Structure 1
Amino acid sequence: MTEPIVVGVDGSGRSLRALVWAAHSAALHHCRLKIVHVVPRVKHSLLTGRDIVAEAAAIAREAYPDLEVTTALPEGTLPARFLVKESGHAHAVVLGAQGVGGFGNLVLGSVSLQVAGHASCPVIIVNHITTGHRRVVVGADGSPHSTAALDYAFQAASLRKARLQVVHAWSLPYPPEPPVLIDPDPDEIAKKHQQELEEQIGGLRKQYPAVEVTEDLVRDAAIPVLTHASDRADLLVLGSRGRGGFHGLALGSVSHHLLHFSACPVAVVRPRPEPTPA
């Protein structure tokens, strides 16, 4: 794999957790780790930035001596803008949930939110690092964005030798579509959702036969179901927008909520853009 895993650091405790997560992921993928610190326009900030990336690189190399580590200290740009640009040729971008300068009880900093909403590669937001569950959770709803999330989740579970929990939350349509005189049968709707889920993951089961997969088809709203599932996971994988998202929104309501309140790192995945014809 030639594309690096890019991690943004700023010297905060959360960015250190992001660094640890990113270094481990880069080692699993056998790819380069690129450590980025965008230098603010403050006196002596370049020297401080050099110290931040030097310390981060030393931590990563000490933990993974065989890992190729590079650093970047871009100046004169906004952090989110630079990281979104980097995402065009990165395997993933990893960020802490809130960096230096966060306000009060805001869990997710503006840079992390902007990058998660606009990056072209998966973005992993690290607030809490959890270990020992050996479980990856992924939300699936049949949308193209959840298909991309499933691809990422199966690979992540395979590399980590973890179980994969596929969660599909559903509810009865209200009003029924199209309007009918007889109330919809919940059992029949559940069977339909089960069939759609099987069709969506069938090929991935064959591609990753060693991954132990459990399917949770839950009649409930997606947000509470996935929030609860994150309590017992080492990684939660979501599509950037679900089936019910409004066109043009960078992040759907489910992804936006879980980025704030998940108990484990969250990977936000969107379909890769189609290559432009030559």
Structure 2
Amino acid sequence: MTRPIVVGVDGSGHSLRALMWAAHEAVARGRALRVVHVLAPAHEHAATAEGHAWEVGQRDRGVVAEATAIVEEAHPALEVTSALPSGAPPAVLLSESQHAHTLVLGAKGAGGFGSLLMGSVARQAVGHAACPVVVVNHLAIGRHRIVVGTDGSAHSHAALSYAFEEAALHGVPLRVVHAWTRPGPHGLLTGRALDEAVHGHREALEEWLAPLAQQHPEVQVEKSLPEEDPMLALVRAADRADLLVVGSRGRGGFHGLALGSVSHQLLQFSPCPLAVVRSLPERRSG
């Protein structure tokens, strides 16, 4: 079975942006769109007054019905399904990711689980999902390009592969950013040693890109090696881009930390939709 693009909705403006991004991606990839609105656990419904519980249920169904209607009007040929699962939002979304091609979330919501997306829910989704997660804050009317950050880690190799695929799919250039800091005590390396360090980073980047560039010869690649903090470099590069792609964790930090500091900061500061990709075992096709 072909894995759908799954989008979480809650009726907020950010949720609507995520919905539109997800629908466009589903059309581009020839995949179905699954619209998911997470309900409060059953025991919470039971604790509410009967009339209030009915109103809440009507509102929840309305959120999904409206989201589905918006997508069907914009993309009549797109296959759209919906679901209203109940439970803890992180667990529900992670369960959805097991059968999704991509999980799409709004950066902030209108209350309920949506208001938590910039906190624990988003961190758990991007750090543990079984598929790439796209967090939509701003929809840039941009320069028709995709930006990806890489540092040679396994997760950033997965991000590179995803970014090349996206660039090829949408027919846009790809800007690859490998930010680095000057080695040596207090970053005082100069002269020939500095030249050698720069050359080493450039060679490494060429090595990382070679197999993917060969796979996707149609993708125009721009290479950038700024001597700058990675988060700042990526925010600058992603200004008015269509999509920023990063690995969920880079070379720094502890291996047990599922979400790295750079990707964590970008959840809040990315100027365009942010795709966070983990290195995962090969999944069955679909």
TM-score (norm 2): 0.88
2:197 aligned with 1:189? yes
Structure with the largest fraction of helix: 2
Partner AA of 2:208 in structure 1: Q
- What CA deviation, in whole Å up to 9, does each residue of 1:59-93 have, x standing for no partner? 11111111110001112x11111111111121010
- What CA deviation, in whole Å up to 9, does each residue of 1:135-191 have, x standing for no partner? 100001111110000000011111111110000001123459xxxxx9981110111
Name which of structure 1's ranges 203-212 and 36-45 shifts more when overlaid on structure 2.
Answer: 36-45
Task: Determine if contact 2:15/2:105 at 8 Å carries over to the other structure.
Answer: yes
What's the counterpart of residue 20 of structure 2? 20
CA distance in 1, matches of 2:4, 2:283: 19
What's the counterpart of residue 111 of structure 2? 101
* SS at 1:185 equivalent: helix
* SS at 1:219 equivalent: coil
1:81-230 to 2 correspondence within 5 Å? 81-101=91-111, 108-175=118-185, 185-230=193-238
2:60 aligned with 1:49? yes
- What CA deviation, in whole Å up to 9, does each residue of 1:104-123 have, x standing for no partner? x9982442232112212100
- Paired positions, count: 270
Closer, same or farther: CA 227–212 of 1 in aligned 2, 3 Å: same
CA distance in 2, matches of 1:107, 1:136: 24
CA distance in 1, matches of 2:147, 2:258: 22
Closer, same or farther: CA 189–73 of 1 in aligned 2, 3 Å: same
CA distance in 2, matches of 1:220, 1:242: 16
Task: Determine if contact 1:97/1:109 at 8 Å carries over to the other structure.
Answer: no
2:84 aligned with 1:73? yes
Partner AA of 2:57 in structure 1: L
2:71 aligned with 1:60? yes
Closer, same or farther: CA 275–61 of 1 in aligned 2, 3 Å: closer
What's the counterpart of residue 272 of structure 1? 280
What's the counterpart of residue 264 of structure 2? 256
1:100 Cα offset (Å)? 2.0
- What CA deviation, in whole Å up to 9, does each residue of 1:19-67 have, x standing for no partner? 0000000000100100000112341322211111111111111111111
Name which of structure 1's ranges 184-193 and 14-23 shifts more when overlaid on structure 2.
Answer: 184-193
CA distance in 2, matches of 1:157, 1:94: 18
What's the counterpart of residue 179 of structure 1? none
Task: Determine if contact 1:98/1:109 at 8 Å carries over to the other structure.
Answer: no
- What CA deviation, in whole Å up to 9, does each residue of 1:237-268 have, x standing for no partner? 00000011311112100000111001100000
CA distance in 1, matches of 2:36, 2:245: 23
- Structure 2's unaligned 5+ residue stretches are 46-52
What's the counterpart of residue 7 of structure 1? 7
CA distance in 1, matches of 2:68, 2:184: 53
* SS at 2:222 equivalent: strand
Closer, same or farther: CA 25–107 of 1 in aligned 2, 3 Å: same
